[in-house]
Chains A and B, each alone.
Chain A
Amino acid sequence: MREDASGPRLSTEHEMPRLSAYESVVGAEEVEQIRRLAAGLRGMRIQHLSSTYRGGGVAELLARLVPLMQDVGLHASWDVIRAEPGFFQVTKDFHNALHGAYVEILPEDYSTYLETTRNNLALVDREADFVVTHDPQTVGLVEARQPIGRQYWLWRCHIDLVEADPRVWGFLRSYVERHDASIFHLAESGKDLLIPQILLTPAIDPLDEKNRELPEEEIRQVVTGFGIDMDRPILLQVSRFDRLKDPLGVIAAYRMVRKWNDCQLVLAGGTATDDPEGEEVLAEVRQAAEGDPDIHVLALPPDSHRIINALQRAATVVVQKSIREGFGLVVTEAMWKGKPVVGSAVGGIRRQIFSGSSGYLAHTTAGTAFRIREILANEGLAERLGRTARAYVHANFLITRYLKSWLLAMHSVRSGARISPTRI
């Protein structure tokens, strides 16, 4: 994916959220608690540094988080590095290598990284109380850290480092450990580090286009517009057309289910025209679906948030049959909509679904099919799983909780002490 550093300072795709707007979702007490937590940090400057304002989960999260931080009294800002396409090719290679792929990184690639980093050092706000670098693209900006002074640096890692290439990780690690703390999604995606490793799971925004309530009429209009029958069960997987999301495995599971239960399958995902493998997988999926009018393969533009929202709300069972998964926010989205999810027992999905309580975890295609059949055969079960799933997301994975965790992380690096409890 090509990275683009141009664009507005904050995404204009959504209206700027205000904390008070979330009272209707999380309650006034929760909002008041966040404000009290923020009181001790009021007026402090926090600068987020990332590689792009648009596209991808990091930009989406920051577009919601930064205005909320401002709303609770912080001077929060978000800046992106300026770089040539060559730099983003290098960081893409880093990204793949950190995910365990074999990528040849040449000495001149490291030079490109170092040069771009040096060119962006002036971007760092010297007056900021907290500087947060996101992912490998900006970690090197810690070079701008003052040798003396009370500026706290945090590295927010959004990727899974379990199988990281030791050469690339070795290069980045020296920068990471010059921060005061690191922040990972999950313990299993972290590394042994000399600095504290804070865990902060990603969150969804219940008020954005992807997750807000939709009128029944609109849902029907969207779904029937794709030729999907609203009166028959709908199985849905929302994901990029990527082998790691196993779309062919989903079709295989659907065919096992079809022997026993009438249903339709919807595979909806973004098209990535600059990703040759994505096109290839999409072609394979279309071929596998050929001849079955009940399989709907929807290649949607990347900003189809409202359509995805409608499809998720219309689904009877949501499937996430990933082979590997960082966290899986799409699972959170479906759970928030009260849908029973059958997910693979991998990555963050294992942390979201308590199998049998808030959805089902499966290890195989057959297991996925079996759980789908179980849900289709029992209407009460789907409702019970969906209710627990929504409650779990409400308590753990909403943007308000994310904001609260960020404020705690800031208090944590300021207090420095490992003593608990800390009075603030």
Chain B
Amino acid sequence: MRPFLFETSLSLTRYTGFAANNLRALLKGLQRVPGGSIYHHLYHALFQRHFAAGAFANDFAVWCWRELHEEVLGERLTVIDPLEFPTIRAARNRLIEEVDRHLGSVEFIQHVPHQRQFFFLESQSFVFPTGKVARDLNELAWEIRRAPHEVIFHHFVVSTLRVGPGENDFSRWIDEECKKPELAQKLRELSPYAADLETLKHRIADLVMLHA
């Protein structure tokens, strides 16, 4: 059986040089910015989300709602689930579609001053091994419980971009190496939206322990 090798992913944030002070500029930005920017505002926002109670799920939705007071568009953007998309390009297209559709229906385009602009940032991710290894389910649960949030984010949340929609590294290893498809499926059904990463990691570890 191949052991599970824990990795972590740390992100450096950069400014792309693109900024939007109205919806039309947001649309233009969405069409032009590097993929790392879509990743940052759509996926990485999940990482920060639990600090902002009641906030929308991604930065685009928050900006449209808070700065442009476009409540309808804010709601439409917030239900875009980044974990449904196999690629960043697919996620970008969906965002463009929603903003474009909304632009066609508004009579007045709100402009905001410099400080309240949407600044397109991007994440440059660096992946490296943590040195932790799990050879069975007991070890997997133990290491998950001790892991920093970045490790859980890498293996459980954004892994969909590497291994496909609905899939994550833990489920894949449990399925292929431990031959426990039921447990693998239960993990796939855990929602990263339901709680913060701290709670999520303990839920994962609890489930794994139950089946160890």
- Do A420 and B125 touch (CB < 8 A)? yes
Which one of B7-15, B97-105, B177-185, B187-195 is at the A interface? B7-15
Q: Is A175 among interface residues, defined by CB-CB distance under 8 A?
A: no
Residues of B within 8 A of A36 (CB): 128-131
Q: Is B108 among interface residues, defined by CB-CB distance under 8 A?
A: no
Q: Is A288 among interface residues, defined by CB-CB distance under 8 A?
A: no
Complex Cα distance, B127 from A40, in Å, reads 12
- Do A197 and B128 touch (CB < 8 A)? no
Q: Is A30 among interface residues, defined by CB-CB distance under 8 A?
A: yes
Q: Is A152 among interface residues, defined by CB-CB distance under 8 A?
A: no
Q: Is A304 among interface residues, defined by CB-CB distance under 8 A?
A: no
Which one of A250-258, A326-334, A408-416 is at the B interface? A408-416
Residues of A within 8 A of B39 (CB): 420
Q: Is A190 among interface residues, defined by CB-CB distance under 8 A?
A: yes
- Do B128 and A418 touch (CB < 8 A)? no
A-B contact list, 6 entries, CB within 8 Å:
A33-B130, A188-B114, A357-B55, A395-B51, A408-B126, A412-B124
Complex Cα distance, B8 from A404, in Å, reads 13
Which one of B24-32, B70-78, B115-123, B163-171 is at the A interface? B115-123
- Do B51 and A358 touch (CB < 8 A)? yes
Identify B12's interface contact among A27, A184, A347, A408, CB under 8 A: A408
- Do A193 and B36 touch (CB < 8 A)? no
- Do A422 and B17 touch (CB < 8 A)? no
- Give chain B's interface residues, CB within 8 Å of chain A: 8-15, 17, 19, 34, 36, 39, 51-55, 114-115, 117, 119, 121-131, 146-150
- Do B115 and A199 touch (CB < 8 A)? no
- Do A193 and B17 touch (CB < 8 A)? yes
Q: Is A309 among interface residues, defined by CB-CB distance under 8 A?
A: no
Complex Cα distance, B131 from A412, in Å, reads 22
- Interface size on A (CB < 8 Å)? 43
Complex Cα distance, B148 from A418, in Å, reads 26
Complex Cα distance, B128 from A37, in Å, reads 8
Nearest-Cβ distance from residue B39 to partner chain A, whole angstroms: 8
Question: Do most interface residues of chain B lie in helix, strand or loop, or is the interface mixed?
Answer: strand
For A33, A36, A357, A420, the residue with the greatest tally of chain B CB atoms inside 10 Å of its CB is A420
Closest 6 CB pairs of A and B: A187-B119, A421-B125, A354-B52, A408-B12, A187-B15, A197-B15
- Do A188 and B10 touch (CB < 8 A)? no
Residues of A within 8 A of B10 (CB): 33, 37, 404, 408
Residues of B within 8 A of A421 (CB): 9, 125-127
Residues of A within 8 A of B8 (CB): 33
- Do B12 and A33 touch (CB < 8 A)? no
Residues of B within 8 A of A424 (CB): 126-128
- Do A188 and B12 touch (CB < 8 A)? no
Question: Do most interface residues of chain A lie in helix, strand or loop, or is the interface mixed?
Answer: mixed
Complex Cα distance, B128 from A388, in Å, reads 30
Residues of B within 8 A of A192 (CB): 17
Nearest-Cβ distance from residue B20 to partner chain A, whole angstroms: 12
In the complex, besides A184-B15, A187-B19, A354-B52, 8 extra interface pairs with C-beta distance below 8 angstroms are A29-B147, A32-B131, A188-B119, A200-B13, A347-B115, A405-B12, A418-B124, A420-B124
Q: Is A162 among interface residues, defined by CB-CB distance under 8 A?
A: yes
Complex Cα distance, B8 from A37, in Å, reads 10
- Do A29 and B148 touch (CB < 8 A)? yes
Chain A residue nearest in CB terms to B17: A192
Q: Is A233 among interface residues, defined by CB-CB distance under 8 A?
A: no
Complex Cα distance, B125 from A418, in Å, reads 10
Residues of A within 8 A of B54 (CB): 356-357
- Do A190 and B51 touch (CB < 8 A)? no
Residues of B within 8 A of A32 (CB): 130-131
Chain A residue nearest in CB terms to B162: A421
Nearest-Cβ distance from residue B202 to partner chain A, whole angstroms: 15
- Do A162 and B121 touch (CB < 8 A)? no
Residues of B within 8 A of A405 (CB): 12
Nearest-Cβ distance from residue A28 to partner chain B, whole angstroms: 9
Q: Is A300 among interface residues, defined by CB-CB distance under 8 A?
A: no
- Do A198 and B34 touch (CB < 8 A)? no
- Do B15 and A199 touch (CB < 8 A)? yes
- Do A29 and B146 touch (CB < 8 A)? yes
Complex Cα distance, B44 from A199, in Å, reads 15
Tell me the residues in window 66-124 of chain A with beta carbons closer than 8 Å to chain B beta carbons.
none
- Do B14 and A357 touch (CB < 8 A)? no
Identify A197's interface contact among B17, B126, B129, B131, CB under 8 A: B17
Complex Cα distance, B148 from A405, in Å, reads 16
Chain B residue nearest in CB terms to A181: B14
Residues of A within 8 A of B130 (CB): 32-33, 36
Tell me the residues in window 170-224 of chain A with beta carbons closer than 8 Å to chain B beta carbons.
184, 187-188, 190, 192-193, 196-200
- Do B51 and A423 touch (CB < 8 A)? no
